Chain A
Amino acid sequence: MSSLTITDRDAAAGPVVEVTGDLDYTHAAALRRQVERLTLRPGQCLVIDLAGLRFCDSSGITALLAARQHALAAGADIALAAVPANTLRILTVIGLDRIFTLHPAASTA
């Protein structure tokens, strides 16, 4: 069965949310809730670290877009780090590779 673990920590530039597992219909709402609890200050950058992401469907994309909206509403920026190849392919098809700032790894974000 699918599973999802979400942890967050504070880095110099802003909070880093690590997503491990499946961002699917069953679990995507958890990421939305977790991100909505974060308090972002203007000028910060919210980093979603997807290094441990196994699977991402349209519900997962929606959760990422909701995170983006949450960050922009607070005057903060958002970046995706370590996007796995299969998810990057989807992001490219739907044009989100040019909407999100992408970083190879969370440390470089």
Chain B
Amino acid sequence: MCRTGQDPESSETEDEADTDALFIALLEDSAEELYESAPCGYLSTLMDGTIAKINATLLRWLGMEREAVVGRRRFTDLLTVGGKLYHETHFAPLLRMKGELSGIALEMKTADGGRLPVLVSSTVKHSGEGEPLLIRTTVFDASDRRTYEEELLHRKREAEQARAEAEQARAEAEEARRQAEADRVRLADALAVLQQSLLPASLPAAPGLETAVYYHTASPDRLGGDFYDLFPIDGARWGFFLGDVCGKGPEAAALTSLVRYTLRAAALHDPEPATALATLNAVLHERYAASGDVRYCTAIFGVVDTGSRPGHATVRLASGGHPSALILRAGGHAEFLPTPGGLLVGILPSAPATTAETVLEPGDTLLLYTDGLTEARTGPTHNSLYGEDALHAFATAHAPCTPQEAIGALSELLDSFGDGLDDDTALLALGVPAVPPHPLPATKHDR
């Protein structure tokens, strides 16, 4: 702090003189002046709240005249309704109890109707005997702070609202998901009922015969196109069929329904298998091909007659483009019942169907299957087909067996294909019991 060219000694003396002058000016600032013009509001009130003294700063903030306030108004008269309430319920009781309070946020009202957010600190002055005499209060303008807090509150509300909206959106998405899931379940239920109407879960009991069926669904939401049925024609004769309609889904289901009831009706009219298939061919061709739609099915239709020889059954069947039936003989071998040359049903106005006949001895089982079984992709890369040769070998290994045993073994085989089985597969087996059922005790008939 050297000033060049000046005597350091004299410079110091000059500074001291300046400082002294400042102090003198400050001292001239009387306590009264400080009270009135301080950068905060001061007021003193009697214990009942009547304002006894108030400084100019606070009067200026409030836009009021001293004469209108001192001795005429209480401190609470200067507060907003909310501030008044808070003062009565919290501020005043607490002050009486503790003797002092600091930094309490209140709102004062100004003469022009505005609001002034303030921070208030008060102390109670006591007499020598400890009696409370008056309350001294300082008031700080908290507008800035209040603005900041309001902004903070505003932002918090905005964030809260955004959070609520996000929560609402999430709830709506969840509701939509639940609805979609409910719809999916309902649709799956409806499809299952439809599927059930197309495909009997169990076959009726046919005297002198054993039967078993199995259906593998490749995709639960695409109604399958495979079908089978067994139904009585007359006393000793039963009609049966198994087949595969083209396509998947509702259209395939409609076609399956048409096929099933056409075959049943045709068989009651004329149970000759080739005739039943010819009727089906005519119906499908007229219904679909004539209108330019390609719809068809493959099917084996047969009639089994248990009446000609006790303990035996004669099977006469015809195939329209369907893989050959397989017979697991009681003697322990298996043989196809070839029906070559039969054509897909429904693509030409008239289609040849090939008929074959065989006799089922006790312990023989006839197996009908759809090509889901023989066309299953096998091997580590799913590149090779299971095929008829493998099926023949499998049947030979299991013969002789009952229809239930055959279906059981084949359903396990289908399971073992895993992903390689990508088509619906239907299996129907019927056979003559190896040991005829014991005749019912005569006593039962007598009663």
The stretch that binds B, out of A4-12, A42-50, A55-63, A75-83, is A55-63
Which residue from A57, A66, A95 sits with its C-beta under 8 Å from B343?
A95
CB distance from A101 to the nearest CB of B (A): 15
CB distance from A36 to the nearest CB of B (A): 11
Q: For the complex, what is the distance from the CA of A3 to the CA of B231, rounded to whole Å? A: 43
> Are the CB atoms of B323 and A93 closer together than 8 Å?
yes
For window 239-256 of B, CB contacts with A under 8 Å fall at: 244, 246-248
> Are the CB atoms of A59 and B247 closer together than 8 Å?
yes
CB distance from B251 to the nearest CB of A (A): 11
Q: Does B232 contact A (CB under 8 A)?
A: no
Indicate with 1 or 0, residue by residue over A93-104, a CB within 8 angstroms of chain B CB atoms.
111101100000
Q: Does B271 contact A (CB under 8 A)?
A: no
Most chain-B CB neighbours within 10 Å: which of A59, A62, A66? A62
> Are the CB atoms of A95 and B342 closer together than 8 Å?
yes
Please classify how large the interface on chain A is, using the bins under 10, 10 to 19, 20 to 34, 35 or more.
Answer: 10 to 19
A-B contacts, CB under 8 A, total = 55
The stretch that binds A, out of B27-35, B125-133, B169-177, B290-298, is B290-298
* Chain A contacts for B348, CB-based, 8 A: 99
* Chain A contacts for B58, CB-based, 8 A: none
Q: For the complex, what is the distance from the CA of A93 to the CA of B321, rounded to whole Å? A: 5
Q: Does A65 contact B (CB under 8 A)?
A: yes
**What is the predominant secondary structure among interface residues of chain B facing chain A?**
loop
Indicate with 1 or 0, residue by residue over A78-93, a CB within 8 angstroms of chain B CB atoms.
0000000010001011
CB distance from A2 to the nearest CB of B (A): 10
* Chain B contacts for A57, CB-based, 8 A: 375, 423
> Are the CB atoms of A61 and B385 closer together than 8 Å?
no
Indicate with 1 or 0, residue by residue over B417-429, a CB within 8 angstroms of chain A CB atoms.
0000001000000
- Which A residue sits closest to B370, measured CB to CB? A58
> Are the CB atoms of A95 and B423 closer together than 8 Å?
no
* Chain B contacts for A65, CB-based, 8 A: 294, 296, 344, 347
Q: For the complex, what is the distance from the CA of A59 to the CA of B296, rounded to whole Å? A: 11
* Chain B contacts for A66, CB-based, 8 A: 294
Indicate with 1 or 0, residue by residue over B340-361, a CB within 8 angstroms of chain A CB atoms.
1111100110011000000000
* Chain A contacts for B320, CB-based, 8 A: 95
Q: For the complex, what is the distance from the CA of A17 to the CA of B344, rounded to whole Å? A: 24
CB distance from A30 to the nearest CB of B (A): 16
Indicate with 1 or 0, residue by residue over B395-436, a CB within 8 angstroms of chain A CB atoms.
000000000000000000000000000010000000000000
With A58-B244, A62-B294, A86-B385 known as contacts, the answer to whether A93 contacts B322 (CB < 8 A) is: yes
* Chain B contacts for A20, CB-based, 8 A: none
> Are the CB atoms of B247 and A99 closer together than 8 Å?
no
- Which B residue sits closest to A69, measured CB to CB? B294
Q: For the complex, what is the distance from the CA of A96 to the CA of B298, rounded to whole Å? A: 12
Q: For the complex, what is the distance from the CA of A66 to the CA of B248, rounded to whole Å? A: 17
> Are the CB atoms of B321 and A94 closer together than 8 Å?
yes
* Chain A contacts for B248, CB-based, 8 A: 25
* Chain A contacts for B247, CB-based, 8 A: 58-59, 62
Indicate with 1 or 0, residue by residue over B315-326, a CB within 8 angstroms of chain A CB atoms.
000001111000
Which residue from B292, B294, B321 sits with its C-beta under 8 Å from A95?
B321
Most chain-B CB neighbours within 10 Å: which of A69, A73, A93? A93
* Chain A contacts for B322, CB-based, 8 A: 93-94
> Are the CB atoms of B246 and A58 closer together than 8 Å?
yes
CB distance from B319 to the nearest CB of A (A): 9
* Chain A contacts for B321, CB-based, 8 A: 93-96
Q: For the complex, what is the distance from the CA of A61 to the CA of B247, rounded to whole Å? A: 10
* Chain A contacts for B340, CB-based, 8 A: 92
Which residue from A62, A69, A96 sits with its C-beta under 8 Å from B246?
A62
The 20 sampled A-B contact pairs (Cβ below 8 Å) are A58-B244, A62-B246, A62-B294, A65-B296, A65-B344, A66-B294, A69-B289, A69-B294, A86-B385, A90-B371, A92-B340, A93-B298, A93-B321, A94-B298, A94-B343, A94-B344, A95-B342, A95-B344, A96-B321, A99-B347
If A65-B294, A94-B298 are given as contacts, then 11 extra A-B residue pairs at C-beta distance below 8 Å, sorted by A number, are A58-B246, A61-B344, A62-B247, A69-B289, A90-B375, A92-B340, A93-B322, A93-B323, A95-B343, A95-B351, A96-B344
Residue positions of A touching B, CB distance < 8 A: 25, 57-59, 61-62, 65-66, 69, 73, 86, 90, 92-96, 98-99
Residue positions of B touching A, CB distance < 8 A: 225, 244, 246-248, 289, 292, 294, 296, 298, 320-323, 340-344, 347-348, 351-352, 371, 375, 385, 423
Of all A-B residue pairs in the complex, the 10 with the closest CB atoms, nearest first, are: A95-B343, A94-B321, A65-B294, A94-B344, A95-B321, A66-B294, A62-B246, A58-B246, A62-B294, A95-B342
